[in-house]
């Protein structure tokens, strides 16, 4: 029995040494130490030994078991380290292999137009402001002199959050005028681009969400001549030197006088064509001298200060700049469309 144990020990240790991976080693563990394993088989025969022989043999058997278990432990450690080394080798990155090209996105045509507009105004000393799209009626209407009952406050036009019509998705960027008056020192020169919302059905020229760029100047002695001069300069930079504009009287509650500004059609030069619907002119923005009431509600002394403001529809500007015929294309974000600009 002694020889048998020695043989098992020698064989097993050699076999463990030769194991190539964890599963082979596990199979060997079962083969030698498992319930039906070789060592277990020998131990079962212990009963047949005499009482004198049994303790010594028992001890030897335990030693062999311990030796095998330890050998398995050591080998298993060695194998898992080797496996890790191999894995690191297999998964090593070859940094010299040319990479796969990542498809770059493309600046949206509307933001190309917006950045042009921003650059022009920044060049003239304007500050760019950002403001909330969820707005209070106080800023969107009250303090812009659009009283209760004004048609633009109607539920059919505006997305309200509450029954009292006090909280809403802003319907214009003009509340940024009031926010600027409240938070900035005079004189003020700002542009405030952003999203606005109205209950409009989607079609080629309408969307319930669109963008405006608000502009405002408040200083001493500011007149309508400054408004026209500034906007003419902007238009020439956007559409080229010599581009003509025309100002038509209009009405907005927060400006007095109010106007709309048209740009001569870039396509036909003013003769009339499908692009300008035969008019020769294309409407670009609403503007006017800030209503004294609006200035006074912000605590500005109208004896000393005056101001003008305007609001541009950004989609329309981009559509004209890039000759886009349908507003929906701007929001669908089809890569094939966006890549053209
Ligand atoms: N908020 C106006 C609109 O959405 C546009 C506008 C008109 C803005 C005149 C102005 C302005 O600042 O002075 O139709």
Please indicate whether residue 231, judged by its CB atom, sits closer than 6 Å to ligand 1: no
Q: pLDDT tens digit string along 278-303?
A: 999 989 999 999 999 999 999 999 99
Q: Are 310 and 214 in contact (CB under 8 A)?
A: yes
Please indicate whether residue 140, judged by its CB atom, sits closer than 6 Å to ligand 1: no
Please indicate whether residue 38, judged by its CB atom, sits closer than 6 Å to ligand 1: no
Please indicate whether residue 175, judged by its CB atom, sits closer than 6 Å to ligand 1: no
Task: State the distance from the centre of ligand 1 to the C-alpha of 142, rounded, in angstroms.
Answer: 15
Please indicate whether residue 306, judged by its CB atom, sits closer than 6 Å to ligand 1: no
Protein residue closest via CA to atom 3 of ligand 1: 172
Helix (H, G, I), strand (E, B) or coil at 240: coil
Atom in ligand 1 nearest the alpha carbon of residue 174: 1
**Which ranges of the chain have pLDDT less than 50?**
none
- The string of DSSP letters for 15-52 reads HHHH--SHHHHHHHHHHHHSTTSHHHHHHHGGGGS-TT
Dihedral of alpha carbons 225, 226, 229, 232, sign? negative
φ/ψ of 335, rounded to 5, equals -55, -40
Angle, vertex CA 221, rays to CA 219 and CA 224, nearest 5: 95
Please indicate whether residue 197, judged by its CB atom, sits closer than 6 Å to ligand 1: no
Protein residue closest via CA to atom 10 of ligand 1: 310
Three-state SS across 129-191?
A: CCCCCEEEHHHHCHHHCCCCCCHHHCCCCCCECCCCCCEEECCCCCHHHHHHHHHCCCCEEEE
Q: For residue 320, what pLDDT is reported?
A: 82
Atom in ligand 1 nearest the alpha carbon of residue 311: 8
Q: For residue 21, what pLDDT is reported?
A: 87
- Cα separations (Å) of 273 from 293, 318, 319? 41, 19, 16
Please write down the long-range contacts of 225-232, taking CB distance under 8 Å and 24 or more positions apart.
226/308, 227/287, 227/288, 227/289, 227/308, 227/310, 230/124, 231/261, 231/285, 231/287, 231/310
Strand partners for 127 = 190
Q: Are 154 and 273 in contact (CB under 8 A)?
A: no
Please enumerate in sequence order all residues whose Cβ is within 8 A of that of 196, keeping only pairs 6 or more positions apart, or say none: 133, 169, 170, 171, 172, 173, 209, 210, 211, 212
Please indicate whether residue 172, judged by its CB atom, sits closer than 6 Å to ligand 1: yes
Which residue's structure tokens are 């238009």? Answer: 235
Task: State the distance from the centre of ligand 1 to the C-alpha of 259, rounded, in angstroms.
Answer: 9
Note the maximum CA span of the chain: 125
Q: Nearest CA to 289 among 145, 140, 99, 170?
A: 145
- Answer CATH for 109-338 from 3.90.470.10, 3.40.109.10, 3.40.50.300, 3.30.930.10: 3.30.930.10
Please indicate whether residue 214, judged by its CB atom, sits closer than 6 Å to ligand 1: yes
Strand partners for 309 = 216, 288
254, 311, 315, 316: which to mutate for ligand 1, most atoms within 8 A of CB?
311
172, 189, 195, 259: which to mutate for ligand 1, most atoms within 8 A of CB?
172
The radius of gyration of the chain's CA atoms, rounded to the nearest angstrom, is 41
Q: For residue 39, what pLDDT is reported?
A: 81
Whether the bond between 96 and the residue before it is cis, its omega within 30 degrees of 0, is: no
Q: pLDDT tens digit string along 189-198?
A: 999 999 999 9
Protein residue closest via CA to atom 8 of ligand 1: 311
Q: For residue 235, what pLDDT is reported?
A: 92
């Amino acid at each position: 029995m002694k020889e048998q144990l020695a043989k098992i020990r020698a064989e097993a240790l050699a076999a463990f040494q030769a194991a190539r991976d964890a599963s082979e080693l596990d199979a060997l563990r079962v083969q030698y130490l498992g319930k039906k394993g070789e060592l277990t088989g020998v131990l079962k025969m212990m009963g047949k030994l005499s009482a004198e022989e049994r303790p010594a043999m028992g001890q030897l058997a335990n030693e062999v078991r311990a030796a095998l278990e330890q050998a398995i432990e050591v080998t298993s450690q060695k194998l898992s380290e080797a496996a890790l080394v191999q894995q690191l080798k297999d998964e090593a990155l070859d940094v010299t292999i040319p990479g796969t090209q990542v498809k770059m996105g493309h600046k949206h045509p509307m933001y190309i137009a917006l950045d042009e507009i921003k650059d022009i105004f920044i060049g003239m000393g304007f500050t760019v402001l950002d403001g909330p799209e969820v707005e209070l009626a106080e800023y969107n209407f009250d303090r812009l002199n659009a009283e209760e009952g004004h048609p633009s406050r109607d539920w059919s036009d505006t997305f309200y959050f509450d029954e009292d019509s006090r909280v809403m998705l802003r319907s214009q960027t003009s509340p940024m005028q009031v926010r600027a008056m409240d938070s900035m020192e005079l004189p003020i020169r700002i542009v405030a681009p952003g999203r606005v919302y109205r209950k409009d059905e989607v079609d080629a020229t309408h969307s319930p969400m669109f963008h405006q760029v608000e502009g405002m100047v408040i200083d001493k002695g500011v007149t309508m001549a400054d408004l026209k001069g500034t906007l003419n300069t902007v238009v020439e930079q956007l559409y080229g030197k010599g581009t003509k504009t025309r100002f038509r009287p209009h009405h907005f509650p927060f400006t007095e006088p109010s106007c709309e500004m048209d740009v001569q059609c870039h396509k036909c030069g003013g003769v009339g064509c499908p692009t300008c619907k035969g008019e020769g002119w294309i409407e670009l923005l609403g503007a006017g001298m800030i209503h004294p009431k609006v200035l006074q509600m912000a605590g500005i002394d109208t004896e000393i200060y005056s101001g003008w403001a305007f609001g541009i529809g950004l989609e329309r500007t981009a559509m004209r700049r890039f000759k886009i015929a349908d507003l929906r294309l701007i929001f669908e974000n089809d890569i094939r469309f966006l890549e053209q600009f």
